[in-house]
Structure 1
């Protein structure tokens, strides 16, 4: 029987998280155990806590932007970085997949698209007991070492945490669809994901990066702080016509079912690509076929990133000093931090920290 861990547990969709014990997956020699020091708050945490994407498997411990210290390493851990006890490591939104040779996704190094992938929380591992996965709003994490990553020395822990989900969620499609010199990129939504989208588009060398938001309220942050080259406020009259056919790639980070989808596509050049990474709880807006046909544009989506994507993303972040804008919060303040994030107060990510007296609660 697995020994219990301590963390902030959700028992239903209405009540605050409570600090109590939970039972992690049984230890195997393919696992790594981590003493958690930091964990970012992601929008997925809020969707999951309120069962927004479907019924959550309570009790649940969310948090999948985990940074900590490796304290135990299994003898059969599958990890190319040769992690050692004492290393500073991280875990993102995925902590399992089948890893079978006959799985097209896993064989191609695209584990995040495995049909049997396990999320870092609210999932089930592929062991005989179908053990539950629990996340990082806790003191300790345990899971397969294949999905654990060394954190570059130059990345502070608080800034590294959001990179492990939010960072790779924007990095992977930007790189996949050719963002770099000669490309113009639009990033819709200047929030937790979007501000990292701007940072990574600049780091990848895009000629022009345009921030897109409903109002001009975040223009100063986007252009003055994050380095965007332009700004489009969709609340202003004529914005779509004025900026028509100016962008090669659009990265949409918003989770709004009422977004002006057709107008966004109008911004694309011929053969341009619109990538949806925000995941609203409701359906996307309807779209007329001519929005696609008249310029041969592509509408696609992207789901987090593979372990290889995460390692590449961390390397670029370290080399180019891609540092998300974070506000550090004590892990004991988790319920207030979740409320503030739900209310849109984050500028632009909250990161929870385990203090030295956490275990005294």
Structure 2
């Protein structure tokens, strides 16, 4: 199929998790035989921090504003499917334009579902509004579970389907490097994540001055009191993620408050770290036990005492390997590309007929029916 994606960013991973998500998914989607165009709003903060210029799996083009986007009307009209992502600048206007211009399937890909729904409930229509949701043929959500029914029942989406984040295992392999840190964390600063980071990393760091910690990610305020044994890395390009995780005895997963409340909202960092076979310590939210088995594939912690106890113990190499096996079995970009294809085909079938009919190899990952339950994951 010919797919057009209008997303927050493909060119720059600076300060966002969208770029790595799109890169892994679209590379795998292209490997299934599809043609992809990614349209990105040209904004100065990403233009100054681009780490992908010419991807080999899709065309990447930029538009300066809505008037400039008009020049892509014919391509959008001729595409088999058009996907608009969350946090796209002027996303409501972009949605109206796409829904008017597209003749194929239209989809909204919400990489921030709980945040989106919280914004809608406050009347904040920064990139999505209730009136455009029914105009999308399918609503693809980073969050599964009961949230999907809410999107359909409350906001009138014709179909809400889970499309969790994933990982490209070739980009996140286990690396044989010296262990530099006992506990690491990779993530952009967020007001609602900071209390958990304080509780599960900074507090244990103060309590265990003989151990080494690191926090990587931009936008942390200057006023944070970092213990002397906590290293800071302002920005870590994706190409360095695997080495970062592999140099950690354990790594920490911290979830935003809206995503904890919704449940079934795994972060892309969770899958990336697990793919590197690094044992993950995570905060607790409903649905995580359906992704990784607690105590065997992941460690769940609610207090600094629990984290400190884990760090005082021996390594958990077997747990890291088990987590990697779980990721390879069901959470790679190839799995998500097959699911995306099934969801778009399902939406097309409801309109007229299937659009994706690739030649499948016997060893290829099977496509699940587009009505599958997210609990099966």
TM-score by length of 1: 0.34
Structure number having the greater helix percentage: 2
TM-score by length of 2: 0.33
